[in-house]
Structure 1
Amino acid sequence: MEITTTYTIETLGTIAFAISGTFAAMQKRLDPFGVLIIAFVTSIGGGTVRDMLLGDTPVAWMRNVNYCLLILFTSIATIFFKTHIKKFKVTLFLFDSLGLGLFTMVGVEKGLLFGLSPGMCVALGTITGCFGGVIRDTLLNTIPLIFRKEIYATACIIGGALYFALVYFNVENNLARFIVIAFIFSLRVIVVRYKLALPKFTY
């Protein structure tokens, strides 16, 4: 059951970030090849950085071609159905927020699999959730969300800490996973809806 649930979460996260990357690339009017590249780096960027830090090589998408095929088909399907989705910006935001929650959970569990401390697991969850978006935004010549005042990485950190709090209070593991993913997604929606942000430092 554990393996099945983890694989399902990772698959959903890959789909969510592939859609997010595809919409981001289409907003910048990239050609089809460029759209596919951005979809790939958005989906695999965080996991690649995580696996390299752990020394878990070859990285996950190199060991399992199904991830590459999933990203390819998801991106193509998103391009095909783009005419049915008018609000690109809203769609990008929603799928990016969903992917953030899903991949944060994947990163936390990968850290646990390697026997790391809770703090390091939360850090890995944050890296897994955020770095695909960082690479995507950098390639698209946009300041990554993680470096702006918007609450982004903070949502991953709080969500990761929440997971360990739930485990401490003996919440069933699958329920804890769902709560964390829903929390990160909801926090992002609330933050953007009410324009909440961390303070900026000026000099």
Structure 2
Amino acid sequence: MSAQPPLLLALDLIGTFVFGLNGALTAVRATRLDVVGVVTLGMMTALGGGVIRDVLIGAVPPATFQLWYYFALALGGGLIAFALSRKLHRLEMPITVLDAVGLSVFAVMGAGKAVEYGLGVGPAVLLGVITAVGGGTIRDLMIGQVPTVLRSELYAIPALVAATLTVAAMGIGIYGLSAALVAASACFVIRMVGVHFNLNAPEPPGSRDQRR
């Protein structure tokens, strides 16, 4: 895969760190895990989606195991969440914002890498979404929860939009830093609008009545 522009690489690294932080913090809130469990779940959140993508497209060993700084950032995020778990609730909104940045960049980078490895439109879009939400899905399953991406909030939909825009831009030959930032920005805006207005994806008709 071609080298990432410095700005996208920086955002990718920030996303890895924040996903590690957010994933470990979610584990702290939901379970009684020790430091090994908390940090492990943080790292899975940060790295899991990218590993799944790389294995599926045959880019092995996955980039996570070749570039030490991804591993180190995920580990650092998990350790900080464990050490400062009592205080991190005060930073919930900044963490949510940075998590949206990570979601946006991972969706773009995941879809772009899939296209560069020769996948078609549908599979490339799907792998972009998997890159963005796969780690969090693994975390939720390991702590015995229905994955957040399947039950609430606008999370997968923004990633789907970013991945689709990325694949479309590459298909018509205009993909570059500007196009990548536009796709990531679209994901970020949709995600944050969903957070601000507490929006969720549509539910099956009558599902709310059944919960009453």
CA contact (8 A) 1:36 1:72 kept: yes
Amino-acid identity (%)? 27
Where in structure 2 are the equivalents of 1:1-203 lying within 5 Å? 2-5=3-6, 6-28=8-30, 29-87=32-90, 89-90=92-93, 93-165=96-168, 173-201=176-204
Matched residues in 2 for 1:172 and 1:155: separation? 19
CA contact 1:13–1:103 (8 Å) conserved in 2 = yes
- Paired positions, count: 203
Secondary structure of 1:143's partner? coil
Instruction: Return 82-91 or 107-116, whichever deviates more.
Output: 82-91
- Mean Cα deviation higher: 180-189 or 37-46: 180-189
User: Could you say if the C-alpha distance between residues 34 and 123 of structure 1 is closer, same or farther in structure 2, counting changes exceeding 3 Å?
Assistant: same
Report the TM-score when normalising by structure 2: 0.82
CA 1:170–1:18: 2 relative to 1, 3 Å: same
Q: How far apart, CA to CA, are the structure 1 residues paired with 2:152 and 2:27?
A: 23
Deviation at 1:44, TM superposition (A): 1.1
Query: In the alignment, is the contact (CA less than 8 A) between 1:20 and 1:92 conserved in 2?
Result: yes
2:124–2:167 Cα contact (<8 Å) kept: no
State the Cα RMSD in Å: 2.6
Q: If the length of structure 1 is used for normalisation, what is the TM-score?
A: 0.85
Unaligned runs of 5+ residues in structure 1 are none
Paired AA for residue 29 in structure 2: Q
Partners in 2 of 1:159 and 1:4 — Cα distance? 17
Structure 2 unaligned regions, length at least 5: 207-212
Q: Is contact 2:50–2:131 with CA below 8 Å preserved after alignment?
A: yes
User: How many angstroms does 1:185 deviate by?
Assistant: 1.8
In structure 2, distance between residues paired with 1:119 and 1:135: 22
